[in-house]
Amino acid sequence: MAKAINEGLRSAMLADDHVMVMGEDIGQLGGVFRVTEGLQENFGPSRVVDTPLAESGIVGTAIGLAMRGYRPVCEIQFDGFVYPAFDQIVTQLAKMTARHEGTQAFPIVIRIPYGGHIGAVEHHQESPEAYFAHTAGLRVVSPATPHDAYWLIQEAIACDDPVIYLEPKSRYWHKGPVDDALAGASMGQARIAREGSDVTLVGHGAMVTVMHQAAEIAQSEGVSIEAIDLRSLSPIDYDTILASVQKTGHLVVAQEAPENASVGSEIAATLTEKAFYVMEAPVLRVSGFNTPFPPSKLENLYLPDADRILDAVDRSLAY
């Protein structure tokens, strides 16, 4: 997937001279995950900018660059390092188009490697998506496959609104096909990752892989799971989810993020409003705990796995 994002960035930079990438260690090193590897060599240091080590500075200067007509793609090195930039993202970037009454677009993409499963140290495995999904003026997306990673990054860059692009870092090394053409879902749309008929399972990013594992196990036990890869966390594609629960009557939402006031909570609330009479059980959430991300030797207990998802599936079906 890292290679797919790299190719997507390269395509966008070839297509538009005003696309530039900026962040810490992204030039010669190619980023700590090598997502920008080779780009500075190809496009030079003024389009692939190694910045000082200051996240607020990265996003704040990107805002000024957007005013100048650039389309900056900012890399935040790790999920837990985005908070020094939080003020510039939430207070400034998200409100800038409205404050300018539409006279100035802010086509800025903020790439953030996020999530667990890699055994990393503190602040390197978090899932901060709810903060951004809560904020008006931001679009939030997360690919689960190399194909989506390749196309979503290009759509995010082409979008005139600010986009938070969350990269499930544990999937960086995952190989998969990338179609030459933008096929299937586009930005803002969810994707049916696996068709099924008994229970709808919704998730995003690295959780989609776990959902597939759960669906395989369920299949062997005679339960058919329909897995939906959200792809977009703001806005959420409710049409796809609602169509699925019309069929299944059961919904389980899986996420790595802590449960309280999460994207999963929002989906549960909305389904209660929009699908109360077709639901045969309450929407169940399977999430990270409402704790700091634990020391990584405990992450397998913290992160939802196939068994925890299947436990929720069983509880849903038992209603």
Q: Which of 54, 261, 269, 298 binds another protein (CB under 8 A)?
A: 54
Q: Which of 160, 179, 216, 307 binds another protein (CB under 8 A)?
A: 160
209 lies in the site for another protein, by CB under 8 A: no
184 burial via Cβ count (<10 Å: 0-12, 13-18, 19+): middle
Write the DSSP assignment of 169-224 as a string of letters: GGGTT------SS--S--TT--EEEE--SSEEEEE-TTHHHHHHHHHHHHHHTT--
CA separation for the pair 2, 99 (Å, rounded): 35
Active site residue 134: no
Q: Which of 28, 42, 91, 246 binds another protein (CB under 8 A)?
A: 91
Encoded tokens for 242: 């609602």
294 burial via Cβ count (<10 Å: 0-12, 13-18, 19+): middle
Size of the chain, expressed as the number of residues it contains: 319
The residue (of 59 and 193) whose beta carbon lies closer to another protein is 59
273 lies in the site for another protein, by CB under 8 A: no
Q: Which of 51, 127, 170, 200 binds another protein (CB under 8 A)?
A: 51
Rounded to the nearest whole angstrom, what is the least distance from the CB of residue 188 to another protein in the complex? 8
Q: Which stretch binds another protein (CB under 8 A): 99-107, 195-203, 257-265, 283-291?
A: 99-107
29 lies in the site for another protein, by CB under 8 A: no
- What separation, in Å, do the N-terminal and C-terminal C-alpha atoms of the chain show? 39
Rounded to the nearest whole angstrom, what is the least distance from the CB of residue 228 to another protein in the complex? 17
9 burial via Cβ count (<10 Å: 0-12, 13-18, 19+): buried
Q: Of the residues 117, 124, 147, 204, which is catalytic?
A: 124
The residue (of 20 and 215) whose beta carbon lies closer to another protein is 20
The residues annotated with a catalytic role in the active site are 124
Which residues would be at the binding site for another protein (CB under 8 A)?
Answer: 20, 46-47, 51-52, 54, 56-57, 59-70, 84, 87-88, 91-92, 95, 97-105, 136-137, 139, 159-161, 188, 235
